[in-house]
Chains A and B, each alone.
Chain A
Amino acid sequence: MHQFLQQVFSGLAVGAVYGSVALALVMIYRATDLINFAQGEMAMFSTYIAWTLVNAGLPFWAAFVLTLAISFLGGMTLERIVIRPVENAPVLAAVIVTIGLALIFNSLAGWIYTYTVQEFPSPFPDRPILGALITTNDLGVIIVTLLMLLLLFLFFRFTSTGLAMRAAAQNPVSARLCGIPVGRMLAIGWGLAAAIGATAGIMVAPVLFLDPYMMGGVLLYAFASALLGGIGSPVGAVVGGLIVGVTENLVGTYLIASQLKLTVALVLIILVLVFKPHGLLGTGIVQRV
């Protein structure tokens, strides 16, 4: 029983990480109908920026806020400069662009910062609690993720910019007719996603340790989480993340040798999707003629 709880809590902690990156993926998907394969690498790069600031002497929270601002602006710029040229091109062209972007970020990080693993300071004290079931660090990650989700929800529901973004994503033509600057909304969407990713990266770096490949595995699980939850649903992203994290751990412990953990976890996710092809919380789009 003790092990079961440990695995569950462990899974929730890593699941929160998947969930926050999944949140960023959903953000961009809702705004631009595009899966951003560079999300993980952007988050990793933002974390390196934070690391540079901290090493330069800034206190943690100042570095955190500054990094979020830089990432937000960076995300907006990326959308305007890198993604805009393929906005009206076939979807696959944009997919290839995001893949190329991922390679660029990864390679740049390796070049500037080398591939040596670095430590990253944690804002939370690192103490085991609840009888060594979970550490305060892990708990902090989960709380921050839920907080981000809440903030996003409030933003989209209760602010006019949020409303404008939802309009721009759902029906760009009508939105333009209403005077909404659709292009700027897309850029804001990317900026928000970059900021969310940066938060995820900073939260997770103390645990996973910072190196250019920190987010590689995370992105894959985040992708699965976002889809499991329903690609249009932010709540689904976080829920999906938590489920994937816990399932992966339990599968590896009780069901099959760790050598097949990844495979079996993916198979299970696909099985769920077979029965719910739009994810657990997603809504299907019905086409009528």
Chain B
Amino acid sequence: MSKGFAVVVPDRAAVSQYAGLSVGAWRWIGALIAVALAAALPFTVSNYHVFELTMVMIYAIAVLGLNILTGFNGQISLGHGAFFAAGAYTTAILMQRYGVPYWATVLPAGLISFVLGVLFGLPALRFEGPYLALVTLSMALATPQLLKYFDNWTGGVQGINLAKVVPPPGLGLDHDRWLYLLVLVVLIVAIRVAANILHGRTGRALVAIRDHPIAAAAMGINNARYKTLAFGISTLFTGVAGSLAAIVVSYVSPEGYGMFLSIAFLVGSTIGGIATISGALVGGLFIEFVPNFANDISDAAPAALYGLAMLLFMYAMPLGVVGSLAPLFTRWLRQARARGSGRN
């Protein structure tokens, strides 16, 4: 795409010490506090809000997958809902037909989504820009139809009801909070994995392919392999999210995986910050809460308010919330350091 995205990689070289601790140490403390807060949160709010927050995290994982593909690798996808559905139905079929316990279905769901992603990534190599958008949109459109057609496996239009998850005994956790913590763990793992990939060689290769495919190829990067890999990794994340969603909601049906879901992922991804990792969390929050707010404000035309919110976010922060705010934060840090060293 001609107008690129800013890759928001925190500016590591700029500052080295704050109050005696290195940047790395501060980062760990920050992460620890965040994890602790996140783990404590469900015990301070009602069951219903715990459920909502669990869905936010699930959407964040799905959006993170999309960020990897569209943000860091520049391949637009309007079809990630299809992989979300793939993960969800894998879990549902394994649980209901083969009696596999819920926690054991998440990885197979992710792997199947990975394989599907690679299979789609191969022909997708031929396409760019709006053509790729069409190909991926077609996947989103075909998904409900395919789910309805293979009704021996998918339960067709009636869907599949899943057994409610029973928390392990002895921990004293109820159903909602157990699932929240489970999803939180998966989210943390997902973020770590994404960070490792994206801040390492693979990530640099993906970004290089996005920004300058010819130069990347000239430097010896195997564009085809990395692009396909990006597709697979991306869909793995989204498939895992779909699997978790099926477990939490305890029901899958074709109605839940239409085109609008794919669009919602793209919207959440762009509004959070498409080439960022923490933007995925913002995206998850947007997808889960903004339609509800819109509904609360207006009975008559809630979708119009949702659309308006999308417009306003894009006007104010065209690189997404994290994409637009992070450079400002980095600049503030740098100025603070300059002021600090000036004082010394």
Contact = CB atoms under 8 A, between A and B. Distances in A.
- A and B touching (Cβ–Cβ under 8 A): yes
Interface stretch (B28-36, B37-45, B263-271): B263-271
Contact of A101 (B3, B142, B214, B307): B307
Contact of B134 (A95, A111, A223, A289): A223
Interface residues of A, number: 47
A29 interface: yes
Nearest to B312: A100
Contacts of B310: 96-97, 99-100, 103
B308 interface: yes
Interface stretch (B163-171, B296-304, B334-342): B296-304
Contacts of B259: 220
Contacts of A147: none
Contacts of B314: 85-86, 89, 93-94, 96-97, 100
A262 B70 contact: no
A33 B1 CA distance: 10
B145 interface: yes
Interface SS, A side = helix
B224 interface: no
Contacts of B138: 224, 266-267, 269-270
Contacts of B127: 273, 277
A260 interface: yes
A91 B1 contact: yes
A218 to B, nearest CB: 13
Interface residues of B, number: 50
Nearest to A217: B141
Contact of B142 (A110, A266, A287, A289): A266
A191 to B, nearest CB: 20
A277 B3 contact: no
B101 interface: no
A96 B3 contact: no
Contact of B130 (A29, A93, A103): A29
A55 interface: no
Interface in A98-143: 99-104, 106-108, 110-111
A270 B307 CA distance: 30
B3 A111 contact: no
A287 B271 contact: no
A94 B310 CA distance: 10
A33 B130 CA distance: 10
Contacts of A262: 141-142, 145
A227 to B, nearest CB: 5
A91 B70 CA distance: 12
B46 to A, nearest CB: 30
B135 A273 contact: yes
A68 interface: no
B69 to A, nearest CB: 12
Nearest to A29: B130
Closest 6 CB pairs of A and B: A103-B307, A89-B318, A100-B310, A107-B304, A100-B307, A107-B303
14 contacts: A86-B318, A90-B4, A92-B5, A92-B266, A96-B270, A102-B307, A104-B303, A104-B307, A220-B259, A259-B148, A263-B146, A266-B142, A270-B138, A289-B214
Interface of A: 29, 33, 35, 82, 85-86, 88-97, 99-104, 106-108, 110-111, 220, 223-224, 227, 231, 259-260, 262-263, 266-267, 269-270, 273-274, 277-279, 287, 289
Given A91-B2, A107-B307, A273-B127, 19 more contacts: A29-B130, A86-B318, A89-B3, A90-B3, A90-B318, A91-B1, A91-B3, A93-B314, A96-B267, A96-B310, A99-B266, A100-B309, A100-B314, A102-B307, A107-B304, A111-B304, A269-B134, A273-B135, A274-B126
